[in-house]
Amino acid sequence: MKSKNVVHMIVAILFSSAFPVLAASSVTIEILAVFDFPGAPLFTSAAGINDQGDVAGIYDDALGTHGFVRFSDGHFSGPITDPNDPNGFTELTGINNRKTLCGFSTFGSFLLSRRIFAYVTTSATATTVNGVNDAGNFCGYTSGPDTNFVTIGGTTIFFQIPGSAPGQASDINNLDQCVGYYFTTGLQAGFRRDADGTLTYPILVPGETSTYLYGINDSGAMVGEVVNTTGTHAVFFQPSGEATIYDYPRATDTSFTGINNNGLICGRYTHNGTHAFIARVR
């Protein structure tokens, strides 16, 4: 796949005052399903969820790391492995409503549709795709240079939070808004990039210094995780900015990794292994 590459100027820099993060009291999280890929009881993780409720994810077994899709009816695809990868490693990072998957292997990053792997390159040395929307636009990060990127209509735009170390653009919605996270001294924070290039940052849960964003839907609701001295905790941001923290019962770590337009969230938790789940926001 060929794409154009341009460096985009930042239209505006908006700080946390432009994204008022408040404590939420009106949101509850309901777990609908917990699952492991068949034969993989020690590590199964969900990566993204589309509006039909199909979940893309990864699992580990004795042969390596593989992708899978859990369909909305509860059935699983077979293992999804890049046929060109010599190391038995394939990770899926997202799925759109056309059931196009994105991910990467040691061979390269790809979009996968109807069993056809379309490899994604940019002018960077290495490119990783983390999210794809229904128009086929996608986002991720690169190495050499180390930065974020979004590809819209075949044009690749590199961007970075000013003064930050490289992070990752994690997901893109159908408005071409993407979210991710970045690093500065003593701070790991989320960001949102709008289609016109406007950057909103830092996005943080009040009182925390480590907030990571992994998913955004078309309403602007976002999901991710907060990391602190007590572990990793899932976080849901309403479009208004209200933040809700969630911990799966007895889990040492919980993360929300994707959200669709129907209020369904996918994620993972750790307790006697790592397991995937689907939840509903109420």
- What are the structural domains of the chain? 4-281 (2.120.10.30)
CA-to-CA dists, residue 193 to 26, 94, 153, 250, angstroms:
27, 18, 16, 35
Number of helices (H), then strands (E), belonging to the chain: the values are: 0, 26
- When pLDDT is averaged across residues 221-237 and rounded to a whole number, the result is 97
pTM of the model: 0.92
When pLDDT is averaged across residues 143-156 and rounded to a whole number, the result is 97
Give yes or no for residue 8 having a pLDDT over 50: no
Helix (H, G, I), strand (E, B) or coil at 17: helix
The Cα 90–Cα 21 span in angstroms is: 36
How high is the pLDDT of residue 32? 98
Rounded to whole angstroms, the Cα distance separating 111 from 92 reads 10
Mean pLDDT (whole number) for 20-47: 88
What distance in Å separates the CA atoms of residue 161 and residue 183, rounded to the nearest whole number? 9
Q: What is the pLDDT of residue 26?
A: 76
Which of 34, 43, 86 has its CA nearest to residue 62? 43
Q: Which residues of 105-143 are buried (b: 16+ CB within 10 A; e: fewer)?
A: bebbbbbbbeeebebbbbebeebbbbbbbeebbbbbbbe
- pLDDT beyond 70 at 227: yes
SS3 content of the chain, % helix, strand, coil (to 5): 0, 55, 45
Instruction: Let me know if 156 is exposed, middle or buried by CB neighbors in 10 A (0-12, 13-18, 19+).
Output: buried
Q: Which residue has the tokens 């907030």?
A: 211
Question: Tens digit of pLDDT for each residue in 10-22?
Answer: 333 333 434 666 6
Of all residues in the chain, what percent carry a pLDDT higher than 90?
Answer: 88
